[in-house]
């Protein structure tokens, strides 16, 4: 597998080393400060990707190896997870992450014991929420081979848990698998009617003679479900086994289906979206996306090989093993549908095809005499990525597009497509790697706007200045440094620094400009106790203060 390599682009230095201090007039003196973090590695020959470490936090996010052109990017944060792509330990930890497109950490979510994935911003009850899937028990490890059992966590803008969505489904699980909840990793879409669409995999008896298997075989019947977020009540389910023939699958049987321990994953649902009153359901193994009505009836099918109900696909418009089907625009006569088209099913397979951000304009109702029109087919022609699993393709509000390459540790932002010699290929404006090849993966990646103020306190430690301290030149007689971070805070612009001779006589004696995830600042000489207060959006009021720290006792 190839890492994304942008030719003629410049590697952007990460803001990991201290930057030069910022000095300006303020109501409290501006203290000498800089970004603080270190790059850690596990040796030059290790498969473990470099990670960042801090003094005031135990977060260990991956380093983002960034290339960019300097062209306009969408102003948002990057949401992804760094997960194991194989049995090789190639990432420092598995956790949902929010980072900036300059490589700074914003939020390091709870470290998962098995898997955590699909972290993103959604709207519930008119407010922004953060959602992600968390695998549980022995079932969470099943995600490594394509699915899992777990729950969807819903957080508010303080990172306080509002709900854990655990659908009330009575499912058969493989032998020796335990799970408190059976929600699958693939989908957790909050609808406009305040419900959530989820996927769930039921181990089910089925006749497999049509694909050369046993009559009394076993399949994974990958269910689409709509559930009540607050109660887990199941409001709608749709079973592909009840509506489609098993032999329509492109996925090889390869000895599967003989018993409950190794069921045949004939359909593999991986995306659901509410379209009006209907459900857009994507099948990786059928190479198809279906529109299903509330009665469970299939209204139409768009197939990546034949076009399905829509007629012959245009040149560059075929797709296979696809993910993240989404309707981008819709009216009574047209639908613009997009996918992350994997176009590959096996890692390292011969004659691998580039994975693309594909969009087709479909005529409604389907009419074979008015076939689909190719709108986008984004790939990097200089270094195409062939992702054999996972992935996402997002339309951004400014016209750019954002691609997460799933099984490959690459994310990229493209400029608007142009109708030039390459047809619908877009320009790669920004790209980052966070792992080696497909040893690290991220189920989906998003770029979104998110404003959050954590319910926790900022974290502060005070340490003796190191011999190689970068603030020595502007520290005067001070030999102490403060290190402050606030995991998840998006809008902090500065920290007011309080000092005193006792922990009850603190006064504001300076301020430090917030730089990076962790800010290092010079502690004023003579301070016995230190506290910081976070200020958001260049305001004057302190939002929340850290604990008081005794100098010399951190």
Hey, CA dihedral for 537, 541, 544, 550, is it positive or negative?
A: positive
pLDDT at 13 over 60: no
Could you report the per-residue pLDDT of 155-201, keeping only the tens digit for each?
A: 999 999 999 999 999 888 888 888 889 999 999 999 999 999 999 99
Of 109-113, 421-425, 446-450, 499-503, minimum mean pLDDT range: 421-425
Residues linked to residue 431 through DSSP beta bridges, in sequence order: 67, 412
CA–CA dist 520, 464 (Å, integer)? 12
Residue 347 exposed, middle or buried by CB count within 10 Å (0-12, 13-18, 19+): middle
Q: 3-state class of 347 per DSSP?
A: coil
Mean pLDDT of 118-136: 94
CA distances from 305 to 313, 320, 366 (A): 8, 7, 16
Give me the pLDDT at residue 19, please. 37
Q: Output Rg (C-alpha) for the chain, integer angstroms.
A: 25
Give me the pLDDT at residue 103, please. 96
Number of separate helices (H) and strands (E) present in the chain = 1, 38
CA–CA dist 143, 268 (Å, integer)? 12
Give me the pLDDT at residue 142, please. 62
Q: 3-state class of 228 per DSSP?
A: strand
pLDDT at 418 over 70: no
- Catalogue all structural domains in the chain, each as residue range(s) with its CATH number: 17-59+454-554 (2.60.40), 63-146+389-452 (no CATH)
Contacts of 241 (CB under 8 A, 6+ apart): 204, 206, 219, 221, 266, 267
Of 19-33, 186-200, 406-420, minimum mean pLDDT range: 19-33
Give me the pLDDT at residue 322, please. 98
pLDDT at 254 over 80: yes
pLDDT at 527 over 70: yes
Contacts of 170 (CB under 8 A, 6+ apart): none
Of 4-8, 443-447, 533-537, minimum mean pLDDT range: 4-8
Q: In terms of DSSP H, where are the helices of 236-311?
A: 240-243
- Return the structure tokens found at 182: 């059976």
CA–CA dist 61, 67 (Å, integer)? 18
Tell me the pLDDT band of 209, cut-offs 50, 70 and 90: very high
Give me the pLDDT at residue 115, please. 75
Mean pLDDT of 432-444: 92
Give me the pLDDT at residue 146, please. 78
Residues linked to residue 338 through DSSP beta bridges, in sequence order: 326, 359
Helix (H) or strand (E) holding 241: helix 240-243
Tell me the pLDDT band of 147, cut-offs 50, 70 and 90: confident
Number of Cβ atoms within 10 Å of the Cβ of 349 = 11
Could you report the per-residue pLDDT of 61-73, keeping only the tens digit for each?
A: 999 999 999 999 9
CA 18 to chain centre: 28
Mean pLDDT of 425-452: 92
Give me the pLDDT at residue 3, please. 40
CA–CA dist 222, 53 (Å, integer)? 40
Strands 95-99 and 77-84 come out as antiparallel
- Return the structure tokens found at 27: 């109501």
Helix (H) or strand (E) holding 240: helix 240-243
Q: 3-state class of 420 per DSSP?
A: strand
Residue 504 DSSP code: T
Q: 3-state class of 145 per DSSP?
A: helix
pLDDT at 506 over 80: yes
pLDDT at 437 over 90: no
CA–CA dist 147, 265 (Å, integer)? 10
- 3-class SS string, 460-502: EEEEECCCCCCCHHHCCCCCEEEEEECCCCCCEEEEEEEEECC
Q: 3-state class of 154 per DSSP?
A: strand
Q: 3-state class of 369 per DSSP?
A: coil
CA–CA dist 394, 444 (Å, integer)? 10
- Return the structure tokens found at 94: 């598995």
Give me the pLDDT at residue 85, please. 73
CA–CA dist 315, 551 (Å, integer)? 68
- Return the structure tokens found at 184: 């699958």
Give me the pLDDT at residue 258, please. 94
What percent of the chain lies above the pLDDT cut of 70?
A: 91
Mean pLDDT of 539-549: 96
pLDDT at 31 over 80: yes
Give me the pLDDT at residue 138, please. 66
Could you report the per-residue pLDDT of 323-378, keeping only the tens digit for each?
A: 999 999 999 999 999 999 999 998 777 788 999 999 999 999 999 999 999 999 99
Buried b (16+ CB within 10 A) or exposed e, 49-72: bbbbbbbbbebbbbbbbbbbbeee
More confident residue, 237 or 418: 237
User: Tokens 């087709």 identify what position?
Assistant: 360
What percent of the chain lies above the pLDDT cut of 90?
A: 74
CA–CA dist 121, 419 (Å, integer)? 32
User: Tokens 């000095």 identify what position?
Assistant: 23
Q: 3-state class of 226 per DSSP?
A: strand
Rounded to the nearest 5°, which phi and psi values hold at 165? -85, 115
Contacts of 43 (CB under 8 A, 6+ apart): none
- Return the structure tokens found at 346: 């096996």
CA distances from 214 to 67, 218, 254, 259, 366 (A): 51, 9, 12, 10, 37
- 3-class SS string, 8-64: CCEEECCCCCCCCCCCCCCCCCECCEEECCEEECCCCCCCCCCEEECCCCCCCCECC
Helix, strand, coil % over all residues of the chain, rounded to 5 = 5, 40, 55
Could you report the per-residue pLDDT of 317-330, keeping only the tens digit for each?
A: 999 999 999 999 99
CB 266 within 8 A of CB 224: no
Tell me the pLDDT band of 24, cut-offs 50, 70 and 90: very low
């Amino acid at each position: 597998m190839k890492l994304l390599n942008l030719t003629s682009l410049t590697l952007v230095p990460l803001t990991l080393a201290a930057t030069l201090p910022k000095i300006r007039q303020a109501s409290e003196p501006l203290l000498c400060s800089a970004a603080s973090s270190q790059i850690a590695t596990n040796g030059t020959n290790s498969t473990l990707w470099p990670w960042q470490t801090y003094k005031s936090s135990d977060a260990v996010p991956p380093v983002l190896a960034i290339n960019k052109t300097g062209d306009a990017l969408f102003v948002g944060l990057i949401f992804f997870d760094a997960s194991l792509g194989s049995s090789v330990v190639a990432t420092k930890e598995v956790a949902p992450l929010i980072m900036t497109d300059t490589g700074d950490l914003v939020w390091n979510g709870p470290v998962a014991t098995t898997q955590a994935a699909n972290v993103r911003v959604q709207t519930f009850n008119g407010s922004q929420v953060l959602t992600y899937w968390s695998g549980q028990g022995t079932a969470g490890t099943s995600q490594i081979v394509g699915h899992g059992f777990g729950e969807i966590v819903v957080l508010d803008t303080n990172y306080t848990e509002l709900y854990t969505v655990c659908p009330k489904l009575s499912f058969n699980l493989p032998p020796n698998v335990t799970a408190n909840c059976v929600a699958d990793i693939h989908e957790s879409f909050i609808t406009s009617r305040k419900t959530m669409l989820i996927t769930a995999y039921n181990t089910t008896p089925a006749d497999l003679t049509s694909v050369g298997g046993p009559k009394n075989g076993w399949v994974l019947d990958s269910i689409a479900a709509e559930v009540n977020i607050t109660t887990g009540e199941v409001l709608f389910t749709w079973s592909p086994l009840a509506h489609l023939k098993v032999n329509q699958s492109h996925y090889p049987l390869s000895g599967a289906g003989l018993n409950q321990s190794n069921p045949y994953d004939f359909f593999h649902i991986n995306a659901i979206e509410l379209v009006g009153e209907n459900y857009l359901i994507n099948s990786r193994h059928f190479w198809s996306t279906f529109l299903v009505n509330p009665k469970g009836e299939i209204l139409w099918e768009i197939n990546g090989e034949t076009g399905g109900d829509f007629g012959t696909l245009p040149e560059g418009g075929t797709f296979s093993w696809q993910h993240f089907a989404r309707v981008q625009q819709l009216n009574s006569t047209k639908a613009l549908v997009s996918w992350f088209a994997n176009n590959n099913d096996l890692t390292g397979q011969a004659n691998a095809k580039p994975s693309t951000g594909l969009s087709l304009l479909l005529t409604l109702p389907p009419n074979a005499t008015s076939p689909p029109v190719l709108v986008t087919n984004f790939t990097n022609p200089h270094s195409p990525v062939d992702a054999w699993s996972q992935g996402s393709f997002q339309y951004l509000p400014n016209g750019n597009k954002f691609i997460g390459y799933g099984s490959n540790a690459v994310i990229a932002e493209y400029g608007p497509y142009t109708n030039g010699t390459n047809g619908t290929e877009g320009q790669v404006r920004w790209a980052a790697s966070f792992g080696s090849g497909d040893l690290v993966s991220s189920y989906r990646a998003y770029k979104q706007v998110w404003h959050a103020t954590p319910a926790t306190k900022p974290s502060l430690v005070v340490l003796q200045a190191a011999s190689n301290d970068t603030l020595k030149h502007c520290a005067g007689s001070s030999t102490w440094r403060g290190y402050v971070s606030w995991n998840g805070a998006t809008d902090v612009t500065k920290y007011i620094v309080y000092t005193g001779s006792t922990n009850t006589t603190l006064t504001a004696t300076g301020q430090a400009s917030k730089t990076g995830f962790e800010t290092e600042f010079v502690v004023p000489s003579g301070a016995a106790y230190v506290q910081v207060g976070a200020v958001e959006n260049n305001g004057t009021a302190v939002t929340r203060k850290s604990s008081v720290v005794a100098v010399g006792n951190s």
